[in-house]
């Protein structure tokens, strides 16, 4: 269940409950107040009737003194005045009677009157010149109840709108309150794509500790990775100088060591070197771009071609390139290592022309072609195996491809070798799965 729904439900339910209670209470007290008001008016009317009553010679009412509504038939306003056996009734009652047992004490009650009207009745026994006079005054409550009902309906509607408004407000508030988390997620995505090294500061106080914790974790991971990479790299590099010395001794024909022993020394030193290079490159393969730099073919490929031209300066290689201007979320060093090895290999075999192209259709694709002798079908199948050397006379050709393979595997990419249509030699294509950004 989402945070937004949970908060919305809690706030909505409690608010609806409170407003329902308010609605009921307001309705009840409005009804109550109105009835009290009607009752006190009836009391006043009863007293006016008493004042309008003349007992002698026969009890008569001065009807001019009482309100006109009592004379209109079934107007909803009625009275009866009883003294002794004589009962005076309002004209509005027509031929109906008010069924009221006058008990002496003043009281108000509801009863059903003529035409099924709901009447509020006020009855009281007065004493006039020693003669008991029972007066009952009644009023139809229906019009008042109708307007109370109307009011309550309107109130209910207003409260409902209020609930909906509050719910919408809460939803908006929550969404805005959670927006920093959403931004955080985008930032984390950017880190994954290698566009950022850490989360930006300036998050709201509630989120800031989380941001800080994530940044700490990132720093720690990067440090550990750097440390282990550095340690491994340092060891491997430190081994290379003594190895160079061993090779030099093995190469030196003037050395006192016998030729077979020197050959053995040389081959073992080369094996150690190959092992070091393989492990070094495997450790170097970072997989998805972490805090490293992004690969920008438009800058990196020309720089790499400078190296190839420098290393093969005597060969006057014609190298064509086609690279896009955008950058990719893969580690620059990995891509340089990959392309460097492919280009080095191509340059060794090429007669004079190379072609390197980078494309995204839709995945990142790197392609290196040469105009060298190329490979047969069997060789193509064999060449991608680890450390397989096809030609021992061209140094390092096996190792280079095994490094390429390690990098491709590290990214879950594909390595395809085929015949170059354009140049006639070997064509190596590396494809990487689609990377966001």
Partner 1 sequence: MRLLLVEDDKGLRDGLTQALHGAGYAVDTADNGIDAEALGHVEPYDAVILDLGLPRRSGLDVLRAWRSRANKVPVIILTARGAWHEKVDGFQAGCDDYLAKPFHVEELLARLAALLRRSSGQAGAAVTVGELALDEERQTVTTAGGTTHSLTGTEFRLLRYFMLNAGKLLSKSRLTEHVYEYDDDRDSNVIEVYVNRLRQKLGREWIETRRGQGYIFRNPVP
Q: Which residues bind partner 1 (CB under 8 A)?
A: 236-238, 240-249, 251-252, 269, 273, 277, 280-281, 284, 300, 303-304, 306-307, 310-311, 313-314, 332-333, 336-337, 339-341
Nearer to partner 1, 36 or 299 (CB): 299
Give ∠ CA 177-183-189 in degrees, rounded to 5.
150
Which of helix, strand or coil describes residue 180?
helix
Q: Which is nearer to partner 1, 188 or 246 (CB)?
A: 246
**What are the C-alpha distances in Å from 84 to residues 21, 106, 242, 357?**
50, 18, 140, 123
Smallest CA-to-CA distance from 404 within 339, 329, 308, 307 is with 339
- Shorter beta-carbon distance to partner 1: residue 173 or 340: 340
Coil vs helix vs strand at 6: helix
Min CB(396)–partner 1 separation in Å: 10
- Nearest approach in angstroms of CB 381 to partner 1 is 27
Residues whose CB falls within 8 Å of the CB of residue 169, separated by 6 or more in sequence, listed in order: none
Give the shortest CB-234-to-partner 1 separation in angstroms: 10
- Our CB check for partner 1 shows the closer of 247 and 288 to be 247
Task: Quote the crossing angle between the two packed helices 142-192 and 208-251, to the nearest 10°.
Answer: 10
Of the pair 240, 326, the CB lying nearest partner 1 is at 240
Kind of pairing between the strands at 318-322 and 107-112: unpaired
Classify strands 53-54 and 60-61 as parallel, antiparallel or unpaired: antiparallel
425 vs 350: CA distance, rounded Å: 8
Minimal distance in Å, beta carbon 248 to partner 1? 5
Q: How far is the CB of 170 from partner 1 (least distance, A)?
A: 53
SS3 at position 141 = coil
- Residue 351 neighbours by CB under 8 Å, 6+ apart: 371, 372, 425
| Angstrom distances, CA of residue 96 to CA of 78, 90, 116, 297, 431 | 10, 10, 12, 105, 102
Closer residue to partner 1 in complex, CB, 189/306: 306
């Amino acid at each position: 269940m989402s945070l937004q729904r949970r908060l919305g439900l809690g706030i909505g339910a409690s608010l609806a409950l409170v407003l329902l209670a308010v609605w009921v209470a307001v309705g009840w007290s409005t009804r109550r107040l109105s009835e009290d008001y009607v009752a006190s008016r009836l009391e006043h009317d009863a007293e006016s009737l008493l004042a309008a009553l003349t007992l002698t010679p026969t009890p008569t009412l001065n009807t001019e003194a009482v309100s006109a509504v009592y004379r209109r038939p079934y107007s909803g306003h009625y009275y009866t005045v009883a003294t002794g056996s004589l009962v005076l009734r309002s004209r509005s009652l027509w031929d109906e009677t008010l069924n009221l047992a006058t008990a002496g004490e003043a009281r108000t009650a509801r009863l059903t009157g003529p035409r099924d009207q709901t009447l509020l009745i006020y009855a009281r026994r007065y004493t006039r010149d020693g003669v008991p006079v029972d007066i009952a005054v009644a009023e139809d409550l229906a019009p008042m109840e109708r307007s109370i009902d109307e009011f309550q309906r309107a109130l209910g509607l207003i409260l409902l709108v209020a609930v909906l408004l509050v719910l919408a407000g809460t939803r908006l508030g929550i969404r805005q309150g959670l927006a920093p988390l959403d931004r955080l997620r985008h930032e984390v995505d950017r880190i994954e794509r290698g566009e950022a090294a850490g989360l930006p500061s300036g998050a709201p106080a509630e989120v800031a500790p989380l941001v800080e914790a994530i940044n700490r974790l990132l720093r720690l991971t990067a440090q550990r990775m750097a440390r282990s990479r550095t340690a491994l790299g340092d060891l491997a590099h430190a081994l290379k100088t003594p190895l160079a010395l061993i090779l030099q001794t093995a190469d030196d024909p003037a050395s006192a060591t016998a030729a077979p022993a020197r050959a053995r020394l040389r081959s073992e030193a080369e094996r150690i070197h190959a092992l070091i290079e393989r492990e070094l490159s495997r450790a170097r393969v970072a997989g998805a771009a972490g805090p490293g730099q992004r690969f920008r073919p438009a800058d990196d490929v020309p720089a790499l071609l400078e190296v190839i031209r420098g290393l093969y300066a005597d060969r006057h290689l014609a190298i064509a390139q086609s690279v896009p201007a955008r950058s990719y979320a893969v580690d620059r060093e990995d891509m340089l290592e990959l392309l460097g090895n492919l280009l080095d290999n191509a340059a060794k075999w090429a007669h004079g022309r190379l072609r390197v192209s980078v494309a995204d259709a839709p995945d990142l694709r790197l392609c290196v072609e040469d105009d060298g002798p190329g490979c047969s079908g069997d060789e193509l199948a064999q060449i991608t195996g680890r450390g397989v050397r096809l030609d021992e006379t061209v140094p390092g050709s096996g190792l280079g491809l095994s490094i390429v393979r390690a990098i491709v595997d590290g990214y879950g990419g594909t390595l395809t070798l085929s015949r170059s249509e354009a140049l006639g030699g070997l064509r190596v294509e590396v494809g990487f799965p689609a990377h966001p950004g």
